[in-house]
Amino acid sequence: MSIEINFSSPKDFVVVPAQTIKKKTLTVHAVIDKPQDRMVVAIVEGLGNVVVEGLSGPNYDNPPWTNDALVTALRIQLGNQ
């Protein structure tokens, strides 16, 4: 199963090696929950591993994250680039 994140317009993303890609839809293929590090990492097609800032650190497990919370956090984090 994967989760898609849609933006109202295409966004530019810079990936490593240095390359800019434009996408309107991102697909999350997996989510890694690292409780010992208080971190949630999303594996996003074309971008690789993305630490989900809105669900990590002081925001970790407060409340426990859901797929909807993941989509919202990534949309905010990546949509502001």
- d(CA 80, CA 22) in angstroms, rounded, equals 14
Tokens in use for 22?
A: 């434009």
Residue 15 lies in a domain: no
pLDDT tens for residues 41-76? Answer: 999 988 889 999 999 999 998 778 899 999 999 999
What's the CA gap between 53 and 80, in Å, rounded? 13
In this prediction, residue 3 has a pLDDT band, given cuts at 50, 70 and 90, of confident
Sign of CA dihedral 58, 39, 22, 29: negative
Determine the pLDDT at residue 81: 59
Range of the domain at 41: 27-81
Q: What are the pLDDT digits (tens) for 4-46?
A: 888 888 888 877 777 787 888 889 999 999 999 999 999 998 8
Asked if residue 36 is part of any domain, the answer here is yes
In a domain, residue 73? The reply is yes
pTM, to two decimals: 0.77
Domain count across the chain: 1
Cis peptide before 17 (omega within 30 of 0): yes
Residue 59 belongs to a domain: yes
Flag whether 21 is in a domain: no
* Within-domain flag for 16: no
Residue 62 lies in a domain: yes
Is residue 22 included in any domain, yes or no?
no
